[in-house]
Structure 1
């Protein structure tokens, strides 16, 4: 109100209008003379008579709700220390009548022109139930995720400064979607409200409950001495919600997954802590739900590595990160190279070299294996064509095929198309499938294998001896090669292993299979395998998998010298 208006009204009448506007608008005014430690307070929001307050910190201590007091004071200190340009804070107060209200505080330090003192001018707004602030979840009357993050950041700083530890407990209602589907969204809202009220009643004053988006809740445990205290909070929650909650005469059972992370031990970054909590909740769900998981960094490392592999593998082909190495199969009697196996490799800028044993199962699980497998096929067939043009001798080039690829209707047409494109005979390509893949073939897939063989492609059974093969399948298909698994070769000096290997050789000879021993690493293994009648070997004893350019040197010689 301008000075002219005040002069026209008179002091008493002006004072009445001024105070009425404060009351009606739920606005308060404070002035803190920082040089003289004097406070002028005019507000009706809290209901307190604050006549003896000397500074803003004392004022905040007096009116702030105990769970928000530290945060309210920190906001003031951040402004006074120059961290923030303006004084701005949102927090809860507990009124003289016992009500909880939300206030928005704005202020700035100005030089008083008359007395030349520094004065902090502050406006206080009652924003309870208003959209002027973003700290309150209207449905549950709890703090929301945004305000919670501010409180968490402050709690981390306090824990570090005072050498204490705190915890986050992330709570997910596992069956909330089912409840919504069965009863409707309005009913689901009632469940959330009742759940929030019940959950809040279980917590002590040192804990703060927040509503996160959807059916998620977060508990901030500001201080504890032993992890058992946090576990006890979780156990109490589980025990309480074993009983149903009643909503509109319906008995509703709540299934929960809980995840816990500790600060500052696990992290001092609030967003990272939330990520860790989410990981712990995911682990709880995998463990069967209604479980609490405490975040473990070592377990998480493998999870985040897997997640990174999943994201990076998508663009690996486009970025030309995949490449092939080739390992020769050697005739055991002449040391000559008879064929080669194409083996995929992956080198990523973020992850470095990733073993096929690590990324192939992920590619299969995420549905990327067909795209990757088709790339391997084309690259191997193209290379085989180039080697034939250079006059190198080899009987076949082998490519590993996943069960998923084999089940695709377009698999056989793709093979034929690629062989035609690069002008190589079908007999030059050997399809390697594992023993478990052979056992898992359906009638339809058996038909595919027969079609491939009838079309002139060779079929090899890889890792033979690790499963329980159906002998009928071995008899039924004119398979070209049995590759004996490394686990048998590793212990070939053992008499039982010799007996098993000799039996496989006898079976292979009778069925006209070529017998290849995988993973041969020593001269002693080679000699024993030769005596047992093995046809060929593959392993580091002769040659490890090599890049295309290096393997060409071996192909030029045509044999491996040892």
Structure 2
């Protein structure tokens, strides 16, 4: 017996056997044989209902000993043919359709048999030419119904006169019912094929699986999207498809699905080639043939995931270096700190800053600067150990996090390795670039227990390393944090200092070594802080430059010094030069010359009594622009002095290009006069200035021996505590009297 025998057909055969059991026990041998033939027919049933209907139709003709047997659906042609058969007065039938059209018995779905005998009479020959053609004498028909609605007729034709018996009626009724069941199965299969075709044409991935995860059905999209054939896909289990992270959730999700009946979630599948297919799953439990199965509709969400990943990347990664940005660094640091607390581990945060990176951008362009940052990022990656991660905080700052360290040396060792790696030159567009970096180190839990404090302390340690020589690393200390707390107070106060008028100027004399007379004053800024007391410029000038406040502060110094010099002249003192320091940022301002001109006009000071001091390192930057600005100032009558001479790398040829009037030799050279090398360097510096017709001033003169050396070798001026410490304006008058500077 075929495995696919329809259940309803089995039931029908069983009902027939049960209903005729008594009859067959006492019936004739012929009856038993006819019933056995029907049973044998059922055993031959195929999955194809049309074949089964053909078997039943042939069996009916055989059992009723007809010449022809056929089954016909109630289509228009059949209705038209039967409609021409009007019952004559001698119409023989079983049932009572007397006076009706013949096919009414069929069309109305009667359980009675309709038959005509003596069909060869002229009446039927005229209404249906087939009567003569087929030599029909008797016509027997039985309605075939599906769900109690007539859908066709089972017909047996005789070439002789024939009257069906009650047994014939039962046999024909059973076979007609069996055909009706097969019609039902045919309709079910057609609907199933139609629905299956709809599912196959769906873009979504659809499959069904049992409660153990075995696939029992899939549509074309399922096999196509996963790269399997239909048969291959049906042999899979969910564990063969889900990626490991989702495969571990299968049992828990199955329990939740059985409890709720339906469930929606995201998952990821392996394709046959082991690539990943992200999906959104809507699963539902249904019951089929008494068994619970799961129908799953999976939607490919690759595009959505790609969009989400792009958005995530834009939010949490630096597009230039492909490193995590500050937000992702903080998120990762939160997770690592939680792990460190749980397992009582130590963790290190390394804050790295590149030296003078802005100079690279300004001189070589941002394209070179960007490629330099990318090269730095690549080298940092090469230094990473397992479990560590790096990120870019912004500009030229990077973060390295070292989880689970045993000793501080683990962090300092990494810092040393990074610095050494970065010291190798970078070759970019024909430029050989050297990079120096400072690294600050903060350790959890020693220097903080949250990301903000650790990053702040590592940043403070980095600045400490940078201020103490650079190209090194520094571990955070409590003393360092005290200093940075002071720096933070100064930075916050600096923004209000001009408004509160907390700056004052002190003045230190510059003495002519030949005459011993005071010939100039250098204006030196001081900050009278309301809480911290007197603050030296070394503490706040760098803050002013980094915050961009050096511009307005420098302008205040220039204007105040010019006003004071003009006031002394108005008081009758002989005129002398007022020296004012200019920062690198001020010289990069395009309106510097205009600002100086406006201050001189506003204060009424003759430009000849103003000296602007520029450091040697500033003069070496962007030389052409610096020279142009200096020439314009010289044309106004302002004098120019080069401060800290000897600390930079000025050559004689470079000095010749600069329109300067004076060089100020750095104090470090004065302090070394008592050594042979120091004395020779000082003599060379003085000689260089003289060869260029420049006046030479020495700073840091501490004793008479140094003073005599300078006089002997032709130094023109000196400025140091040996003559006077810097004084407020009110005390300058007394100093001038000491040096016999009298009023006019």
Alignment TM-score, normalising by the size of structure 1: 0.54
Q: SS of the counterpart of 1:345?
A: strand
- The equivalent of 2:311 in structure 1 is 185
After the TM superposition, which of the residue ranges 521-530 and 274-283 deviates more from structure 2? 274-283
Alignment partner of 1:316 out of 497, 500, 525:
497
Task: Indicate conservation of the 8 Å contact 2:348/2:401, yes or no.
Answer: no
- The equivalent of 1:545 in structure 2 is 726
- The equivalent of 2:553 in structure 1 is 372
- The equivalent of 1:326 in structure 2 is 507
- In 2, the alpha carbon distance for the partners of 1:188 and 1:284 equals 30
Deviations 1:511-554 (A, max 9, x none): 22111110111111111111111111110111010101011222
- The equivalent of 1:452 in structure 2 is 633
Task: Indicate conservation of the 8 Å contact 1:393/1:558, yes or no.
Answer: no
1:527 aligns with 2:653: no
- In 2, the alpha carbon distance for the partners of 1:525 and 1:181 equals 74
- The equivalent of 2:346 in structure 1 is 230
1:279 aligns with 2:449: no
Aligned pairs for 1:53-72 (under 5 A) are none
- CA shift, 1:428, in A, is 0.8
- The equivalent of 1:251 in structure 2 is none
- The equivalent of 1:257 in structure 2 is 401
User: Which blocks of at least 5 consecutive residues in structure 2 are unaligned?
Assistant: 1-251, 253-305, 318-327, 351-383, 391-397, 403-440, 466-472
Given the superposition, is the C-alpha separation of residues 320 and 187 from structure 1 closer, same or farther in structure 2, using an over 3 Å criterion?
closer
Deviations 1:238-290 (A, max 9, x none): 623679xxxxxxxxxx9853686666x768xx8xx665323245469999xxx
- The equivalent of 2:386 in structure 1 is 239
Whichever of the two has the greater Rg, that structure is 2
- Give the number of the structure with larger relative contact order, counting CA–CA contacts within 8 Å between residues 6 or more apart: 1
- The equivalent of 1:416 in structure 2 is 597
Task: Indicate conservation of the 8 Å contact 2:698/2:715, yes or no.
Answer: yes
Q: SS of the counterpart of 1:328?
A: strand
After the TM superposition, which of the residue ranges 469-478 and 486-495 deviates more from structure 2? 469-478
Given the superposition, is the C-alpha separation of residues 240 and 515 from structure 1 closer, same or farther in structure 2, using an over 3 Å criterion?
closer
Task: Indicate conservation of the 8 Å contact 2:347/2:443, yes or no.
Answer: no
- The equivalent of 2:584 in structure 1 is 403
- In 2, the alpha carbon distance for the partners of 1:418 and 1:549 equals 23
- The equivalent of 1:53 in structure 2 is none
Aligned pairs for 1:148-187 (under 5 A) are 183-185=309-311
User: Which blocks of at least 5 consecutive residues in structure 1 are unaligned?
Assistant: 1-97, 99-179, 192-210, 244-253
Given the superposition, is the C-alpha separation of residues 477 and 185 from structure 1 closer, same or farther in structure 2, using an over 3 Å criterion?
closer
1:503 aligns with 2:680: no
- In 1, the alpha carbon distance for the partners of 2:678 and 2:572 equals 40
- In 2, the alpha carbon distance for the partners of 1:240 and 1:416 equals 60
Q: SS of the counterpart of 2:594?
A: helix
Task: Indicate conservation of the 8 Å contact 1:462/1:485, yes or no.
Answer: yes
Aligned pairs for 1:83-122 (under 5 A) are none
- CA shift, 1:216, in A, is 5.2
- In 1, the alpha carbon distance for the partners of 2:621 and 2:724 equals 32
- In 2, the alpha carbon distance for the partners of 1:341 and 1:413 equals 22
More helix by share: 2
Given the superposition, is the C-alpha separation of residues 184 and 460 from structure 1 closer, same or farther in structure 2, using an over 3 Å criterion?
same
Q: SS of the counterpart of 1:330?
A: strand
- In 1, the alpha carbon distance for the partners of 2:479 and 2:687 equals 48
- In 1, the alpha carbon distance for the partners of 2:684 and 2:476 equals 50
Pairwise CA RMSD of aligned residues?
A: 3.9
- In 2, the alpha carbon distance for the partners of 1:511 and 1:212 equals 56
Alignment TM-score, normalising by the size of structure 2: 0.41
- In 1, the alpha carbon distance for the partners of 2:566 and 2:442 equals 57
- In 1, the alpha carbon distance for the partners of 2:716 and 2:332 equals 63
Deviations 1:357-390 (A, max 9, x none): 2211221122111111111001101101101101
- In 1, the alpha carbon distance for the partners of 2:507 and 2:489 equals 27
- In 1, the alpha carbon distance for the partners of 2:573 and 2:737 equals 6
- CA shift, 1:353, in A, is 2.7
- The equivalent of 1:217 in structure 2 is 334
1:344 aligns with 2:525: yes
Q: SS of the counterpart of 2:499?
A: coil
- CA shift, 1:356, in A, is 1.2
Aligned pairs for 1:127-146 (under 5 A) are none
- CA shift, 1:477, in A, is 3.4
1:425 aligns with 2:606: yes
